[in-house]
Chains A and B, each alone.
Chain A
Amino acid sequence: MASTSEVEERADVVIVGAGHAGVQLVSALAKKQFAGSVVMIEAEEGYPYERPPLSKGYFSGEQQLGDILFRSPDYWGNSPARLMTGETVIRVNADEHLVETATGRKLRYESLIWAAGGNARSLPLPGADLAGVYYIRTLADADALKLRAEKSARAVIIGGGYIGLESAAALRKAGLAVTIFEAADRLLARVTSGPVSEFFRKLHVERGVEFRFGQSVAAIIGEGAHGVTGVRLASDEILPADLVIIGVGLLPNVDVLAAAGCATGNGIVVDEVHRTSLPDIYAIGDCASFASAGGYHRLESVPNATEHAQILAGVLMGEQPRQRAVPWFWSDQYDVKLKTVGLLSGHDAVVVRGNPDSGAFSVAYLRDGRLIALDAINATADFAQARLLIESGAPVDYERLVNPTIKLKDCTTPRVAA
């Protein structure tokens, strides 16, 4: 009988993680008719599913599981790519080109793609492990949360980021009282400007959400099978609650690769074509700290994951690397659609186009007279045109930019003929 160390499978491409980056990579390779063998290893059970709906349509019940699967079961049945679910990769041997799972399976790879995303960052609060306290990262989280919400009247959300705000919208729709704790003095402080923070604060307040800015929860209280009954603040004030959601960020999944000797910083460090510091190992998606324009970024978004997958598919096919697309993002809260394009860090001017009180406006971020990012609230035309403007790097005319009746694409400074 062969010893377990000799029992191994092999594949040309082994992808760890069946999230947005992993699945898009499988698709992109299939579309390019990649001739090699592909195996995708996923820790969760069940068919791969999309994450954004977990805090939106799936949470609110507008979508069922079948609506949020990436692909139908038939797709996986017909695909030459092999899907291995319920398997957690616990070790990578870079020299031997081996991955090992918790159940003892070993696979030898030509190329290893780390698309393992991350886990919700936990809060070391007393009571954080009580029943009724949730993070929202996985399908299991969303299912448990929905069940609890049906029997709850009051929810506390810790964290005023997109997850917190989207959850608040879903819970308000379901009729629960909602209080959001945000440590900063405004919402989305690290990703947007004052006008947009204020718009969302008002939007939620109008729908009955209570905000506590600059206050934090000191402990979650409750006990036994019922779990959460409230939260206690540093001031000793107690707020009753039947349900607590914690949304304070993501911890990228780096431990296994770090143990294998991979360079990690804020995530798995990769170059412009997603190569890590270890031979034949790449990283894409939420976990990847990628080189771009002289710096490194780690973005937690679906468009980012898809873009990485498209770039890497080209690399694995031996094609000329494609130019990185401008990052973008979307968030749906109540009937408001926020679409954001570009990254605003380093901006030196902010221009509001339109009136926030009208419910449709955009905020442009400039650097050296060029558009580098834009937040569009119910402003599809500005969003669509901003992507092109940011890509082209054309100088924009401030006077025209400030006038929302002038199309964004018509706001470039006319070039003077030589």
Chain B
Amino acid sequence: MYRINIIDARGTLHELEGADGQNIMAVAVDHDVPGIVGECGGDMSCGTCHVHIEDTWQQAAGQPDADETDMLEVVDNLQPNSRLCCQIRMSSSLDGITLKVAGTE
């Protein structure tokens, strides 16, 4: 299990654990983290798992592909460190990743 730190819009830190290969959105909704809905179940079709990756983790998390970039173009609060977290799967290189919820509900 790997550690995931998610800070919600109120500043509350949620310290979670995800299994190898598990996407971050799935972990977040399993803990009712406010602001992450995951409406489409991880199909990258809804934009409701929008997060900002903390600077030190940006490289490890990687860049969005073309489709994710298209979806991100229309979310509120788009920043260079924006990702849809259903597209980030946990691995040892992401152990301890910290990110902030970007969306509101």
Q: Which residues of B contact A30 (CB under 8 A)?
A: 32
A316-349: which have CB < 8 Å to B?
Answer: 328, 330, 332, 337, 339
Q: Which residues of B contact A50 (CB under 8 A)?
A: 41
Within 8 Å of chain A (Cβ to Cβ): is B45?
A: yes
Report the Cα distance A330→B66, complex, angstroms: 19
Nearest CB of B to A85, in Å: 18
Q: Which residues of A contact B73 (CB under 8 A)?
A: 381, 384-385
Q: Which residues of B contact A75 (CB under 8 A)?
A: 30-31
Query: Which of B32, B67, B73 has the most A CB atoms < 10 Å from its CB?
Result: B32
Within 8 Å of chain B (Cβ to Cβ): is A74?
A: yes
Known A384-B70, A384-B74; contact A330-B40, beta-carbon cutoff 8 A: yes
Q: Which residues of A contact B37 (CB under 8 A)?
A: 24, 27, 306, 310
Report the Cα distance A24→B31, complex, angstroms: 13
Query: B26-38 toward A: CB 8 Å interface, digit per residue (1/0)?
Result: 0001111111010
**Other-chain residue from A71, A74, A303, A380 in contact with B29 (beta carbon distance below 8 A):** A71
Within 8 Å of chain A (Cβ to Cβ): is B55?
A: no
Report the Cα distance A330→B70, complex, angstroms: 16
Within 8 Å of chain A (Cβ to Cβ): is B71?
A: yes
Within 8 Å of chain B (Cβ to Cβ): is A28?
A: yes
Within 8 Å of chain A (Cβ to Cβ): is B94?
A: no
Q: Which residues of A contact B41 (CB under 8 A)?
A: 50, 52-53, 302
A44-90: which have CB < 8 Å to B?
Answer: 50, 52-53, 71-72, 74-75
Q: In the complex, which residue of chain A has the Cβ closest to the Cβ of B36? A: A31
Q: Is there contact, CB below 8 Å, between A385 and B74?
A: yes
Report the Cα distance A415→B75, complex, angstroms: 24
Q: Which residues of A contact B20 (CB under 8 A)?
A: none
Q: Is there contact, CB below 8 Å, between B43 and A330?
A: yes
Report the Cα distance A72→B28, complex, angstroms: 11
Q: Is there contact, CB below 8 Å, between A71 and B30?
A: yes
Nearest CB of A to B82, in Å: 13
Within 8 Å of chain B (Cβ to Cβ): is A370?
A: no
Q: Is there contact, CB below 8 Å, between A380 and B30?
A: no
Q: Is there contact, CB below 8 Å, between B70 and A380?
A: yes
A344-393: which have CB < 8 Å to B?
Answer: 380-381, 383-385, 387-388
Q: Is there contact, CB below 8 Å, between B105 and A339?
A: no
Report the Cα distance A328→B74, complex, angstroms: 15
Nearest CB of A to B62, in Å: 18
Q: Is there contact, CB below 8 Å, between A27 and B32?
A: yes
Query: A385-408 toward B: CB 8 Å interface, digit per residue (1/0)?
Result: 101100000000000000000000
Q: Which residues of A contact B34 (CB under 8 A)?
A: 31-32
Q: Which residues of B contact A28 (CB under 8 A)?
A: 105
Q: Is there contact, CB below 8 Å, between B30 and A330?
A: no
Q: Is there contact, CB below 8 Å, between A27 and B74?
A: no
Q: Is there contact, CB below 8 Å, between A387 and B32?
A: no
Nearest CB of B to A321, in Å: 14
Q: Which residues of B contact A27 (CB under 8 A)?
A: 29, 32, 37
Report the Cα distance A31→B37, complex, angstroms: 10
Q: Which residues of B contact A339 (CB under 8 A)?
A: 45
Known A302-B40, A303-B40, A310-B105; contact A384-B71, beta-carbon cutoff 8 A: yes
Within 8 Å of chain A (Cβ to Cβ): is B39?
A: yes
Nearest CB of B to A31, in Å: 4
Within 8 Å of chain A (Cβ to Cβ): is B88?
A: no
Report the Cα distance A374→B93, complex, angstroms: 40
Nearest CB of A to B9, in Å: 11
Q: Is there contact, CB below 8 Å, between A381 and B43?
A: no
Q: Which residues of B contact A302 (CB under 8 A)?
A: 39-41
**Other-chain residue from B35, B43, B47, B105 in contact with A384 (beta carbon distance below 8 A):** B47
Q: Is there contact, CB below 8 Å, between A303 and B39?
A: yes
Nearest CB of A to B73, in Å: 6
Nearest CB of A to B3, in Å: 17
**B residues with CB within 8 A of A:** 29-35, 37, 39-41, 43, 45-47, 66-67, 70-71, 73-74, 105
Interface contacts beyond A31-B105, A303-B40, A380-B67: sample of 19 additional A-B pairs, CB < 8 Å, sorted by A = A24-B37, A24-B39, A27-B29, A27-B32, A31-B32, A52-B41, A71-B30, A75-B30, A75-B31, A302-B39, A302-B40, A306-B37, A310-B37, A330-B45, A380-B66, A380-B70, A383-B70, A384-B47, A385-B74
**21 cross-chain CB contacts under 8 A:** A27-B32, A27-B37, A31-B34, A31-B35, A71-B29, A74-B30, A75-B31, A303-B39, A303-B40, A306-B39, A310-B105, A330-B43, A332-B43, A337-B45, A380-B67, A380-B71, A381-B70, A381-B73, A384-B47, A384-B70, A388-B74
